[in-house]
Amino acid sequence: MKFWTGYGSEHSANLVMLGKFKTAEDATGFLSELEKLERLIQEDDSGDDVYREFPRKILDEMFNGRIRFCNDFAPKDLEDFRNDLRRYQRADDQSVVEFKSDVTGWAGLIKMLVNAGASVEVFDESNSKE
């Protein structure tokens, strides 16, 4: 008789990202821009599950200054905004925006936060509890 030992994973995480801004107004302005981008991506009817190029409507909005903080995006970064992403401004400090998700595709969001002037911290919430 042989016994095999195996290890598995559910391929999800319990991630938290903090975007720390200088002021509460900066954080609120960032969230407004993020909502514009997410709305455009949800309305996109190009049929692309994986963005190999920018859909014309999104490209026009992002790079003609109507949505700020997206100046160095690649098409693949748009996919990150299709993930389930819970966010809110912290009650104890309105200059901090907290994001929570169980997926790790956050490159686009990190770029957007950095371009907006935020400092960014990412950690696995399940590992930070003692």
In this predicted structure, what is the pLDDT of residue 87? 81
Instruction: Give this prediction's pTM.
Output: 0.79
Domain ranges of the chain: 15-124
In this predicted structure, what is the pLDDT of residue 52? 87
Alpha helices in 46-129 (DSSP H): 56-63, 107-115, 125-128
For residue range 30-74, list pLDDT tens digits in order. Answer: 999 999 999 988 888 777 667 888 888 888 888 787 888 988 899
Check if the beta carbon of residue 75 is closer than 8 Å to that of residue 51.
Answer: yes
